[in-house]
A and B are shown apart, each in its own frame.
Chain A
Amino acid sequence: MLIAVVLLTLLALVFGVVLGFAAEKFKVEGNPIVDQIEALLPQTQCGQCGYPGCRPYAEAIANGEKINRCPPGGSATMEKLADLMGVEPEPLTATAETQVRKVAFIREEECIGCTKCIQACPVDAIVGAGKLMHTVLASACTGCDLCVEPCPVDCIEMLPVKQDLRTWDWQLNAIPVKTL
Chain B
Amino acid sequence: MSLTASTEHTVLWPLTGGIHPPEMKLLSNTTPIQRLLPANEYFLPLPQVGETAVLAIKQGQRVLKGQPLTRGISAMYLAVHAPTSGTIAAIEPRPSNHPSALPVLTCVLQSDGLDEAVSFTAASEPLSHEQILQRIRDAGIAGMGGAMFPSHIKLNPASKIKRLIINGVECEPYITADDRLMREYASDILNGVALMQQLLQPETTTIAIEDNKPEAAQAMRQALAASTLPQCSIQVIPTKYPSGGEKQLIQILTGQEVPSGAIPAHLGIVVQNVGTAFAIQQAVYQGVPLLERVITVTGSNIEKPGNYWVSVGTPIRHILEQTGFKATPDSKVIVGGPMMGYTLSTVDVPVLKGSNCLLLPQAQELADAPQERSCIRCGECAQVCPVSLLPQQLYWHAKAAEYDKAENFHLQDCIECGCCSYVCPSDIPLVQYYRVAKAAIRKTREEKLHAEHAKMRFEARSLRMEQEKLEREAKAREAAEKRKSAMSGNEKDAVAAALARVKAKQAAQGAVEESPAPTTADSKATIAAAVSGIKAQNQETSGSNVTNQEDKKAAIAAAIARAKAKKIAATPTLTETLTASAPAQAADKKAKVAAAIASAKAKRTQAADTPNTEAQLSAPNATDKQAMIAAAVAKAKARKAAVENTSAEVDNAAVTVEASSAPTTLTESTTDAAQKARIAAAVAKAKAKKASSATATEAPEKTTAASTIAAAAKQHTEGNMPETVNTDGDTHASVSLSDDKKARVVAAVAKAKQKARERAREQENN
A contact set with B: CB distance below 8 Å: 41-45, 53-54, 122-125, 140, 142, 163-165, 167-172, 175-180
**Segment touching A, from B99-107, B110-118, B648-656:** B99-107
3 shortest interchain CB distances as A-B pairs: A43-B451, A123-B457, A169-B439
Q: Is residue B373 within 8 Å, beta carbon to beta carbon, of the partner chain?
A: no
> B79-116 toward A: CB 8 Å interface, digit per residue (1/0)?
00000000000000000101111101000000000000
Contact B458 A170 (CB under 8 A): no
B contact set with A: CB distance below 8 Å: 96, 98-102, 104, 327, 329, 331, 333, 345-347, 432, 435-436, 438-440, 442-443, 446-447, 450-455, 457-458, 460-461
Chain A residues near B452 (CB-CB < 8 A): 43
Contact B102 A122 (CB under 8 A): no
A interface SS class: loop
Chain B proximity of A29: nearest CB distance (Å): 17
Given contacts A165-B96, A165-B100, A177-B345, contact A124 B457 (CB under 8 A): yes
A29 to B460, CA, bound (A): 22
Contact A44 B104 (CB under 8 A): no
Chain A residues near B101 (CB-CB < 8 A): 175-176
Minimum CB distance partner of B327 in chain A: A180
A167 to B329, CA, bound (A): 30
Contact B440 A169 (CB under 8 A): yes
Chain A CB within 10 Å, residue with most, of B99, B345, B443, B457: B457
A179 to B30, CA, bound (A): 31
Chain A CB within 10 Å, residue with most, of B102, B346, B461: B102
A177 to B346, CA, bound (A): 7
10 A–B contacts from the bound complex (CB under 8 Å): A42-B447, A43-B451, A122-B461, A123-B461, A142-B450, A142-B454, A165-B96, A172-B99, A176-B345, A180-B327
Chain B residues near A125 (CB-CB < 8 A): 457
Chain B proximity of A174: nearest CB distance (Å): 8
Chain A proximity of B397: nearest CB distance (Å): 16
Contact A124 B461 (CB under 8 A): yes
A177 to B342, CA, bound (A): 13
Chain A proximity of B358: nearest CB distance (Å): 13
Given contacts A54-B455, A163-B102, A180-B327, contact A169 B443 (CB under 8 A): yes
Chain A residues near B446 (CB-CB < 8 A): 167
Chain B residues near A176 (CB-CB < 8 A): 101, 345
Given contacts A165-B100, A175-B100, A177-B345, contact A43 B439 (CB under 8 A): no
Contact A43 B102 (CB under 8 A): no
A175 to B454, CA, bound (A): 32
Besides the contacts A43-B452, A43-B458, what 9 more A-B pairs have beta carbons closer than 8 Å?
Answer: A42-B454, A123-B454, A142-B454, A167-B442, A167-B443, A168-B100, A169-B443, A170-B99, A170-B432
Given contacts A44-B454, A124-B457, A180-B333, contact A165 B439 (CB under 8 A): no
Chain B residues near A123 (CB-CB < 8 A): 454, 457-458, 461
Chain A proximity of B590: nearest CB distance (Å): 61
Minimum CB distance partner of B100 in chain A: A168
Minimum CB distance partner of B401 in chain A: A76
Minimum CB distance partner of A177 in chain B: B345
Chain B CB within 10 Å, residue with most, of A54, A123, A172, A180: A180
Contact A165 B329 (CB under 8 A): no
Chain A proximity of B702: nearest CB distance (Å): 48
A168 to B103, CA, bound (A): 12
Chain A residues near B439 (CB-CB < 8 A): 167-170
Chain A residues near B461 (CB-CB < 8 A): 122-124
Chain A proximity of B7: nearest CB distance (Å): 46
Chain B residues near A142 (CB-CB < 8 A): 450, 454
Minimum CB distance partner of A40 in chain B: B451
Chain B proximity of A146: nearest CB distance (Å): 12
Chain B residues near A42 (CB-CB < 8 A): 447, 451, 454
Minimum CB distance partner of A140 in chain B: B457
Cβ-neighbour of B458 out of A122, A164, A165, A167 (below 8 A): A122
Chain A proximity of B661: nearest CB distance (Å): 64
Given contacts A172-B432, A178-B346, A179-B329, contact A165 B454 (CB under 8 A): no
Chain A proximity of B418: nearest CB distance (Å): 14
Chain A proximity of B443: nearest CB distance (Å): 7
A75 to B454, CA, bound (A): 20
Cβ-neighbour of B102 out of A45, A54, A164, A179 (below 8 A): A164
A14 to B101, CA, bound (A): 73
Chain A CB within 10 Å, residue with most, of B331, B435, B442, B451: B451
A171 to B438, CA, bound (A): 12
A171 to B443, CA, bound (A): 14
Chain A residues near B458 (CB-CB < 8 A): 43, 45, 53-54, 122-123
Contact A180 B331 (CB under 8 A): yes
Chain B residues near A45 (CB-CB < 8 A): 454, 458
Chain B proximity of A122: nearest CB distance (Å): 5
Chain A proximity of B60: nearest CB distance (Å): 25
Chain B residues near A53 (CB-CB < 8 A): 458
A53 to B453, CA, bound (A): 14
Chain B residues near A175 (CB-CB < 8 A): 99-101, 345
Chain A residues near B329 (CB-CB < 8 A): 179
A178 to B101, CA, bound (A): 11
Minimum CB distance partner of A180 in chain B: B327
A170 to B432, CA, bound (A): 8
Contact A140 B454 (CB under 8 A): yes
Chain B proximity of A69: nearest CB distance (Å): 17
Chain A proximity of B43: nearest CB distance (Å): 15
Minimum CB distance partner of B455 in chain A: A43
A123 to B452, CA, bound (A): 11
Minimum CB distance partner of B331 in chain A: A180
Chain B residues near A180 (CB-CB < 8 A): 327, 331, 333, 347
Minimum CB distance partner of B460 in chain A: A124
Chain A residues near B99 (CB-CB < 8 A): 168, 170, 172, 175
Contact A171 B96 (CB under 8 A): no
Chain A residues near B347 (CB-CB < 8 A): 180
Chain B proximity of A99: nearest CB distance (Å): 12
Chain B residues near A172 (CB-CB < 8 A): 99, 432
Chain B proximity of A46: nearest CB distance (Å): 10
Minimum CB distance partner of A169 in chain B: B439
Chain A residues near B100 (CB-CB < 8 A): 163, 165, 168, 170, 175
A66 to B461, CA, bound (A): 28
Contact A170 B102 (CB under 8 A): no
A33 to B297, CA, bound (A): 60
Minimum CB distance partner of A176 in chain B: B345
Chain B residues near A122 (CB-CB < 8 A): 458, 461
Chain A residues near B435 (CB-CB < 8 A): 170
A170 to B439, CA, bound (A): 7
Chain B residues near A54 (CB-CB < 8 A): 455, 458
Contact B102 A168 (CB under 8 A): yes
Chain A residues near B345 (CB-CB < 8 A): 175-178
Chain B proximity of A175: nearest CB distance (Å): 5
Chain A residues near B327 (CB-CB < 8 A): 180
Chain A proximity of B347: nearest CB distance (Å): 6
Given contacts A180-B331, A180-B333, contact A171 B453 (CB under 8 A): no
Chain B proximity of A39: nearest CB distance (Å): 9
Chain A proximity of B335: nearest CB distance (Å): 14
Chain A CB within 10 Å, residue with most, of B98, B347, B454: B454
Chain B proximity of A75: nearest CB distance (Å): 12
Chain A proximity of B415: nearest CB distance (Å): 16
A166 to B102, CA, bound (A): 10
A142 to B333, CA, bound (A): 40
Contact A165 B104 (CB under 8 A): yes
A172 to B451, CA, bound (A): 28
Chain B proximity of A170: nearest CB distance (Å): 4
Chain B residues near A43 (CB-CB < 8 A): 450-452, 454-455, 458
A125 to B329, CA, bound (A): 49
Chain B CB within 10 Å, residue with most, of A43, A123, A175: A43
Contact A169 B454 (CB under 8 A): no
Contact B436 A171 (CB under 8 A): yes
Contact A170 B457 (CB under 8 A): no
Given contacts A123-B461, A177-B345, contact A165 B98 (CB under 8 A): yes
